[in-house]
């Protein structure tokens, strides 16, 4: 059985879009991951609650990933009542896959800059590597200035020069991956629909069909 790392991409996916899918594809291929698991949040702890249900966000993620053998969906957070924390999800996953197989937590640069506000964030490094993908608007050359001190210290100590080194340990490293710069956000898509414009070409047609059929975000 392969012991290649498993990638985890959490998010609200409200809705899922091509920014998420390219991130998962490029990091999955670049780091030779076994799979990338999309983990839609339940009630997110870090932001105001999304307006549509977790079941709908989950359904859209399922539609978006269904033709891609590298992608899977993990619905555990959508089943939880109350806030779900990444550290709890990773703890559960770690128990399921055992102590030795590498886990990679995939985040965009914006999410990483917020990292020190996440619940028990130091523990995350004992559970997984953190793989940070470039995101437009969050240029890497200004990161050091925008990171709070405790995060900057972890960043300096944990950054792996060789990204494929995530295969060599179960957790603990930080890797930065440049990906195609797609300046797409779920906020932009919701605003676009609310304004009566089409978000076509920002997200898969299957997801757009789902949104239109249910008249979401109008």
Q: Name the residues that contact ligand ATP, by CB under 6 A.
A: 11-14, 19-20, 23, 107-108, 110-111, 133, 135, 182, 184-187
CB of 7 to ligand ATP, least distance (A): 12
Q: Which is nearer to ligand ATP, 168 or 201 (CB)?
A: 201
CB of 40 to ligand ATP, least distance (A): 8
Q: Which is nearer to ligand ATP, 99 or 139 (CB)?
A: 139
Cα–Cα distance measured from residue 112 to residue 125, given in angstroms and rounded to the nearest whole number:
13
CB of 133 to ligand ATP, least distance (A): 5
Q: Which is nearer to ligand ATP, 156 or 181 (CB)?
A: 181
DSSP 5: P
Q: Which is nearer to ligand ATP, 62 or 135 (CB)?
A: 135
DSSP 178: -
- Partners of 129 in the β-ladder: 104
Going by C-beta distance under 8 Å and a sequence separation of 6 or more, which residues neighbour residue 163?
A: 30, 31, 131, 175, 177
CB of 161 to ligand ATP, least distance (A): 22
**What DSSP string runs through 20-64?**
HHHHHHHHHHHTT-SEEEEEE-SB-SSSPPPSS-HHHHHHHHHHH
Measured at CB, which residue is nearest to ligand ATP?
108
| Token pair for 140 | 């890497």
**What is the CA 216 to chain-centroid distance, rounded?**
22
**Closest to 198 (Cα-Cα) out of 218, 182, 178:** 218
Q: Which is nearer to ligand ATP, 92 or 110 (CB)?
A: 110
CB of 106 to ligand ATP, least distance (A): 7
């Amino acid at each position: 059985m392969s012991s290649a790392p498993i990638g985890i991409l959490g998010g609200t996916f409200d809705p899922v879009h091509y920014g998420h899918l390219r991130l998962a594809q490029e990091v999955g291929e670049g780091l030779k991951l076994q799979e990338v698991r999309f983990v839609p949040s339940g009630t997110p702890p870090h932001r105001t609650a999304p307006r549509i249900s977790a079941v709908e966000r989950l359904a859209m993620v399922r539609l978006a990933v269904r033709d891609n053998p590298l992608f899977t969906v993990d619905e555990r957070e959508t089943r939880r009542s109350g806030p779900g924390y990444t550290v709890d999800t990773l703890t559960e996953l770690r128990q399921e896959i055992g102590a030795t197989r590498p886990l990679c937590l995939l985040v965009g640069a914006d999410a990483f800059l917020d990292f020190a506000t996440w619940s028990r964030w130091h523990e995350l490094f004992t559970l997984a590597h953190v793989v940070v993908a470039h995101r437009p608007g969050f240029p890497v050359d200004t990161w050091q200035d925008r990171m709070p001190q405790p995060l900057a210290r972890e960043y300096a100590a944990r950054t792996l020069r060789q990204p494929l080194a995530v295969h060599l340990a179960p957790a603990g490293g930080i890797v930065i991956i440049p990906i195609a710069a797609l300046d797409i956000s779920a906020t932009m898509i919701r605003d676009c629909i609310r304004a009566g414009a089409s978000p076509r070409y920002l997200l898969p047609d299957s997801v757009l069909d789902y949104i239109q059929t249910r008249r979401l975000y109008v």
